[in-house]
Structure 1
Amino acid sequence: MGQFLTTASTMMCPHGGTVTAIASQQKAQAGAAMLIQSDACTIAGCPFMIGPNPSPCVTVRWVSPATRNTLGGTPALTRESVGLCLAATQAPQGPVQVVNTQPKASGQ
C-alpha cells in the first residue's frame, strides 16, 4: 500500500524542479486535497539542458496511478504511482521524484 499524494505532497522532477499540483476535486486528507491521475501538475525551476539548449521539465503525465483506489471514478495517486516529467515538446525527461506524502492515509 502507498501513501496518497495530495496538494501538500512534495514532488520534484529528476533535475530538481518543483512540481505543483492543482487538485480537480476537494476530497481532503488532513487538510490537503487528494490527487487523481487527471490532475494538472506543473514544474518550475528545472535547469535541464540538452547541449547548449534549455529543455526544462514543465508538466507531469501520470502513467501508472493507484490500482484499487479511485475518487469520483478516476484513479487516485499514491507514492507508488509513476509520473513522467515532460518538456514543452512533450518529450519524457524522467520520472517524478516524490519527496514526502500524506502519512495518515494510504491506498493501492
Structure 2
Amino acid sequence: MPGFLVHVGAQVFCAHAGQATPTVPNPRVTVGGQPTVVMTTPYVVAGCTLPPPPAANGPCVTAQWFSGTTRVFSNGQPLLVQSSQAVCAPSGTPLIIAATQTRVSAI
C-alpha cells in the first residue's frame, strides 16, 4: 500500500501508548535530513502501559514489521511507509505510526 516514508523522527507508538524507536536507521536514504527505516529493522518499545501477567501479557518490549514498500527498496530491503503493519512482542498488538514526514511517498 502506498504511503509516506517513515523516518527515524516519526512518531510511532504501541497500542498502549509506549514510544517505539528503530534499533538501526537506514542512512542510505534520507528524507528531511533524517534516515529512513527498512522493514527488517526491529523496534524497541519504552513506556508501554499494558500490565504484566497475570493481569495481561505485557508490557510491549519489541516490535517487528511485516509489511513495507513493494516497489521502492534500499539495499535490497523494503522501506517502511505510514501504512506498514507491525506486531509487538509479547502482547501481539500493533504499532501505530502517528506522524511522519509528508513530502516523500512510495508504493
State the number of aligned residues.
104
CA displacement 1:53-90 (0-9 Å, x = unmatched):
66210111101111211111001100011011112xxx
> What is the deviation of 1:24?
4.0
> What is the deviation of 1:22?
3.1
Show structure 1 runs of 4+ deviating over 6 A: none
Q: Secondary structure at the match of 2:26?
A: coil
The reply on whether 1:75 has 2:78 as its aligned counterpart is yes
Identity fraction in percent? 25
Separation (CA, whole Å) in 1 of partners of 2:23 and 2:8: 7
Task: Report the residue type matching 2:95 in the other structure.
Answer: V
> What is the deviation of 1:23?
3.3
Task: Report the residue type matching 1:104 in the other structure.
Answer: R
> What is the deviation of 1:38?
1.3
CA RMSD of aligned residues (A): 1.6
Determine which structure has the larger strand proportion and give its number: 1
| Length-normalised TM-score, structure 2 | 0.88
- Mind listing any 5+ residue stretches in structure 2 that lack a counterpart? none
- Mind listing any 5+ residue stretches in structure 1 that lack a counterpart? none
Task: Report the residue type matching 1:44 in the other structure.
Answer: A
Q: 1:23·1:34 contact (CA, 8 Å) conserved in 2?
A: no
Aligned to 2:42: 40
